[in-house]
Amino acid sequence: MFVAGTAGHVDHGKSTLIEKLTGIDPDRLRAEKARGMTIELGFAWLELEDGSEVSIVDVPGHERFVKTMLMGAGGFDLALLIVAGDEGPMPQTREHLAILDLLEVSDGIVVITKSDLADSELIELIEIEISEILEGTSLEGSPMIAVSAETGIGLDDLRGMITDFARNKPARTINERPRLFIDRAFSVAGFGAVVTGTLDGGRLKVGDEVALLPSGETARIRGLQSHKSQIDIAVPGTRVAVSISGISHTEIERGEALIKRGQFDTTTVFDASLRSISDAKRPVKHNHHITLYGGTWEEPATVRLLSHDELKAGETGWAQINMSNPRPIIKGDRFVIRDSNDTLGGGVALVTNAPRHRRNDPSVIEHLQVLSEGRPEDVILHALGQLVVANCTQIAEATHMLISDVEAEVSKLTGTGDLIRLTADATALYMTRSNQDSLRVQVRDALTDYHNRYPLRRGMPRQELRNRLRLDSSGFDAIVDNIVNDGLMAQDGTTVRMAGHEVMFTSTQKQEADRFLDVLREHRYSPPAWNKIDAELLGALTDRREVVSAGPEVVFAAEVFDEMRDKIIDYCQVNDAVSINDVRELLGTSRKYSLALLEQLDRDNVTMRVGDMRVLR
């Protein structure tokens, strides 16, 4: 589907032209007919030769109704810039053109109306003047045609030009996240509440459960109509009337968005690129109070400039917009800002629900610049550079891209080797190649430093390494597994170490260890306190399982511990349970060693305590 819309100065013949093209009078209000001037948005449609239709939105041209024009212009695929042949470009011609430029409406036709009231020389001069004001805008180079609604001159050619645009315009992207900003709400007998607007994003169908934002009211679609014809499914780019149940039309306001339930959030704060129009009458200043226009809504807002103290005419910068009320804004939404009298500028939303930033922060500006100017793959790589490790859902949240688009781009980047897939589950984690290289250097340096400081330890505690890298548990585990799988690191229970790292005793340490082990073996079930040996050396012997530390100052030779364990297992198999006194008698040792032994067997899941007894697990 395709939406064309008018723009231009008051009384330049917009509505008359639409009526002659379509046979439909877009002025529906009694006051409009009485005054001969469009006040509200008007709607019509043009039937093409192939049976398809073009929706047409007619906007008011008077300066007092610019905000109404803004509510209609956001959904244009094609702009019909109307200029009267007996007057040429006027103030509202320029302001409407500036608005179309801010909204990046790039397809247009300049229609010079009332050509029957001007000679060919005047028409030629008007064309020259129009070309000059189009220069540097999104409509630069647009074709021009002179027509007359009175005589019919040029109307067939204009229909042909609109037809060509409609046929050659790429279809709007369908992402299954429909959003319809409401421009009218009314009631029809037998149908209840009806809302109208231009559908974007995804399809709506009869029976869909929908919601209105920001109010949060819920409803169900009873019927759909486009150009007075009943339809079952509405696609993006359609001017559609939606009959909904479960709500009264009096509860619905212009500017609300009709969406599928649960698909959009609202925000009051967003980061944006912001441009002041080239002929702005005053600069946009920091903390400037303005009115913000997007979709079919308007909101009081404050502009916090992040990169400038003020934006002079034609300048572009970065800003944070703080609105008085929430709206369902998403990345890529275009908006216009005005003060009480004039259009000042506009831009595009980049980050919704944005945190407050320090002004002139280079990292914030770099991030916004990538989001604004970068290709999708650049945006993802930049976001992952900051996230370090993330899944597609987390990347989508950080980039404000659709999850389907993120998944497609991530698949491409993984194929080219720019991204590394760390896990293979449904919520696979990814990291950039550069982050992988950087983290491997950090891990190598951390482990090398740890091995140098603690040469007798088997490895570095995993938690300590994770704290150094400042990663969450899932990201850390994935990175460790990745490095281990590549043979650069080894892990053992709760520790990690460089591949090839081994604990080596000096001759002095070996002698000390041998003496300690001889003492433990000599005293077997009642070994002396271990404080006569270096704690690091004792840790190394424990890691090698040459000794078993069973409690404070209780250390057994490993083979002696195993012997005692087997004796207790045999005893329990015969007697069902064992007490501390039983162990004392069985091993001929003291209560201190018997209790330490049993508690260690509990920790090893060999036994468990039941009252004052131990039983086998």
The values of phi and psi at residue 227, to 5°, are: 55, 45
Can you read off the two tokens belonging to residue 430?
């990814």
Residue 530 is predicted with a pLDDT of 67
Any idea what DSSP says for residue 347?
A: E
In this structure, what DSSP letter does residue 63 have?
G
Is-contact 402 440, C-beta < 8 A? no
Residues 290 and 337: beta-carbon distance below 8 Å: yes
> What pLDDT does 206 receive?
95
3-class DSSP state of 5: strand
Give yes or no for residue 5 having a pLDDT over 60: yes
Q: Which residue has the higher pLDDT, 597 or 189?
A: 597
How many whole angstroms separate alpha carbon 584 and alpha carbon 562? 17
Q: What are phi and psi of 31, to 5 degrees?
A: -65, -35
The predicted structure's pLDDT at residue 551: 81
For the record, the structure tokens of 428 come out as 């696979």
Q: Is the pLDDT of residue 16 over 70?
A: yes
pLDDT 10s digits, 296-337? 899 999 999 999 999 999 999 999 999 999 999 988 899 999
| Backbone dihedral angles phi then psi of residue 401, each to the nearest 5 degrees | -100, 160
Task: Give me the helices (H) in 107-154, please.
Answer: 120-134
Structure tokens at 480: 């460790």
Residue ranges and CATH numbers for the domains of the chain are 3-168 (3.40.50.300), 179-260 (2.40.30.10), 281-363 (2.40.30.10), 374-504 (1.10.10.10), 507-616 (1.10.10.10)
Residue 188 three-state SS: strand
Per DSSP, the chain holds a count of helices (H) and strands (E) of: 18, 32
Tens of pLDDT, residues 539-598: 899 889 999 988 878 999 999 999 999 999 999 999 999 999 999 999 999 999 999 999
The DSSP 8-state label assigned to residue 355 in this structure reads P
Confidence of residue 28 (pLDDT cuts 50, 70, 90): low
pLDDT at 10: 74
User: In this structure, are strands 42-47 and 53-58 parallel, antiparallel, or unpaired?
Assistant: antiparallel
**CA dihedral for 127, 150, 26, 46, sign (positive or negative):** negative
- Check residue 174 and give its pLDDT: 78
Asked if pLDDT for residue 231 goes beyond 90, the answer is yes
- pLDDT exceeds cutoff 80 at 190: no
Q: Tell which residue, 11, 140, 136, has the closest CA to residue 85.
A: 11
Instruction: Answer yes or no: is pLDDT of 77 > 70.
Output: yes
- At residue 256 the predicted structure's pLDDT band, cuts being 50, 70 and 90, is very high
State both tokens at 405: 């688009």
Residue 268: pLDDT over 50: yes
Q: Is 319 left (phi over 0), alpha (psi -120 to 50) or beta?
A: beta
Helix/strand/coil for 49 = coil
For 360-389, how does the pLDDT look when each residue is reduced to its tens digit (9 = 90+)?
A: 999 899 889 988 887 889 889 988 988 889
